[in-house]
A and B are shown apart, each in its own frame.
Chain A
């Protein structure tokens, strides 16, 4: 296992190199000039040109890439054009929100999606199954933008149970209680993904429940709970873990809409605003980190397969 993990980690290097080249090229293919954004709409062409030159954005793209890449190799992702701070600190200041939001969203996904999928499969073709099917179709079909605004309207504006927006940090005034700002966003993020997990868990469980060993387990008199949770569910684990792992990355890096709706200072919103501001260094930094996250989570999922399924050996 150890050598497998090392091989995989080494394999990540060419993938990251490829991502860095593609990220850099694509960013610079988008028309638009960050100098013009920084100086505002009334700046003269001459002033924009001067700032562009000062930022080094008028040099040939391979020279810009070379300079950027040399810095990345030293662990320096450069400086944000818009914030005039290091990219790492810009991303770092957003990371707390994204990690907390993804964790809470994941809790919603697992706590809602998994049990609902198992119950649906076990009580197949009953009203419970039908209801869960309807709810999960609705959950997967509702646009997150609309769901977020709906939750905000009901639970924040009308009932006043939660704030509409305004999360800063759990280390700021209010401490852990500040997590209340993240409950509605976590539901917005979690519900559609929980619906998908419900459907996946249900179909995997149905497949397993029809296998002989489950009938054997039942025949030898094991309680139903043990049959389902210990024998059946464990054998569905591989696709479920794959889904959960990638949902986690999606929740962390792609919560763009939810973060915008609830005005959360997360990485998803940083990406969108950086595109609009043409803040290339931040975009490149986020893309690199996201790619790394994907590869790393993929590795974790593969390791988990091996631990859960004794037939899989690396």
Chain B
């Protein structure tokens, strides 16, 4: 494609509700919102039905069975695993809603693994009471079905569309009244004016290898932050155990541990015995990646996943639930039946932490909602029991229910036309440069920050990470050059994802205790007296790196459950 400096010509759409992102959260939000009769527009950066984590996820969804399960036991498991950081207002009702969403998916034709008419249920990693059920063909089937349901309801779908900016009301300067985006193939801008926006843009996974999805650059997070939205729990960004050489295996692959795969270090030792002698590899994710990190840092790596001892029946089940990872291994000439697979961990950033949301998906900005991995997943605390896919589906459903009411009651406000011209010109900057830095090169520089952001954190490394991120932001991002619109999407996405790295390090520096995945060498204990609080961050001023932080005490007086305080007294 010939390089050009881009055109400011824009298509304009007017809609009632704009959903940005077409994964499980965005689809549920769009479906629910469209059922109200309102006009819904959905933007997807790739291809609806094949985009995002949702497409690549395993077939696993946590699902409550009222006849067999104890709701109170599940609830307690959620808050204890979440280290009490859970927003219990969000968690309320969610366990029952898992069954509602599954009933709905089944009604839409999604096939689940069953035996004699009942769901086959398996404990997920970290599950004691909770149970997962299994969709055949994983996210491939799920997202294909959701695409059909979205289109069937008359949702206007714009694909290959990258949203770059939220549009703010010209009247009060705060209310979100739409978004600006561009087509990453044609370059044509889209200005969508709407009564409300639902961000469902997913996690930020465009930088780190191991589970890299180039399109998931945290665009919604960055746009929301730029518009002055509150973020919460950003210090708990999640690590994920993944194979070393692949990006397509990570999502949902931890069910391999649930099926009996073991982790071995370079000496052939089953090192999880040191970390969780009872649950071993079925321990929760935090224990697993801390263990892997310790083995690698202790010189006993590389670490391997070994499923060679499992029955053929297990592999048959895995083929159905993890079709994409299995195809990936086959393409690499590997077979779980006979090969140990080199395993490591990466910063997946898909939970928790993100845009602060209440149980309806409302953010701190009027007119702006969020669902899915772009949200802070307040339900989950530091570590989820309900699978991310299911939490995202419920968040999408909830947001989709409330948004039509909000839009119906709100006065429609105008977009500042002059502002959109300014924004479009800024978007095109990397295409105007005749020389500059290639986004792939700068991404590699971002990856150099990785050793400073490992699971064991300290002040010196966090400050070094912040300094490194700033250097890239101030000296390299402004020099990015895009050869085409595809490259332009990477230039913008890289800046967005880099911002989230800096935000993560800044928040991790602030929380002076250890809890869940957040481990500080200087403060290795959990400190409930000082830190049963949420860390909230918001932009202050014009620059993305100017921010205010505050903490809020978690309102346990309102919640069904509260912890026995642990840790140091002040």
**Bound together:** no
List residues of B whose CB falls within 8 A of some A CB. Answer: none
List residues of A whose CB falls within 8 A of some B CB. Answer: none
